[in-house]
Structure 1
Amino acid sequence: MTASIYDKTEKGREEITTRKYQLAPRLRTLLVMIDGKQTAAEIMKKVSALGLTQENLQELLEQEFIVETSVQTDLQTDTSTTAAEAEANEPSSVSPELSMTDAERFQALYSFYNETIKSAIGLRGYGLQLKVERAANIEDFRALRQVYVEAVQKAKGPEMARSLSDRLDLLLGKS
């Protein structure tokens, strides 16, 4: 028996942060739940009470908000091979963030903060944007992380805060 695992595409991440594609609220809720770690069945179990079905997942896939990242087999006979394959696959998905120079990382963090503060927090994030403007190094951005996550959570809720904090942690070099 196999189970698909889905992750957000760049288009899906953009929809979460900016609502650019004006995805229907129910589909957006499903999109937020997709994290690249849970199987489709696990996600469906969590959202079935909302009336979301496998067809809704397929709709996100067809509109390229998500992509199938792997297929997990429940009955693995050689788990050491599976673990080795997972380790071999993992660095490639993280390598762009790890291979950034400090200047590239600084610019990526600066852009991330400015774009997401504007779209997720709005005018209430003005003070936070001023702090981003004053940031002189990556450590300054790390110091802003908690305040940023709390502001997003207050403005948009825990799902959005978790999604954005995961992306921010990748840029900051945290796992």
Structure 2
Amino acid sequence: MFASIYDKTDKGRQEIATRQFQLPNRLRTLLVMVDGKQSAADLLRKVQPLGLDENSVQELIDGDFISPMEIVAPVNEVAETAPNANPDISTETSYLSDSSIPELSGPEQFHAVYRFFNDTIKANLGFRGFALQLKVERASNLGDFEQLRIPFLEAVMKAKGRDFARNLRDQLDVLLYQGRQVQGRTALDED
């Protein structure tokens, strides 16, 4: 059981966003760390100094805050399967042609954008991205993700540089906008 990879359920995301179920702070800390990439054993090694153990994970499972994850293709593979989607090419504007749009339904698109934000914030911003990560957890629709686009890209640009941020912008825009004109401009759009 502890070798399985767990992710938050809808109830778990709702707890992060609203504290509706009033989880104790220690369990809530563990819930925030559940990311769909680490096994329960890996998580427990990180939170052991906080006094959390197997019973803590079991409480989250029993409370339906987390569940074992299905194995799905990573977001990067989804973006790479889109025709003409090349993350190494940065564009001067944030407009994507119809030929670069992946075929994603509403729930698939939401999940892909959610995974993109989770993966890239943790990998590129680390602890500095914690506040953004909490906003991602509170997101309930694509509009919430659109509002996170500019703060996310500015944080990445500050941490990793303009070219790296442009690369992530292009990948995010493919998933988030699916060919529509991007509304918000960032410092990345100016040269």
Structure with greater strand percent: 1
**TM-score, normalised by the number of residues in structure 1:** 0.48
**TM-score, normalised by the number of residues in structure 2:** 0.44
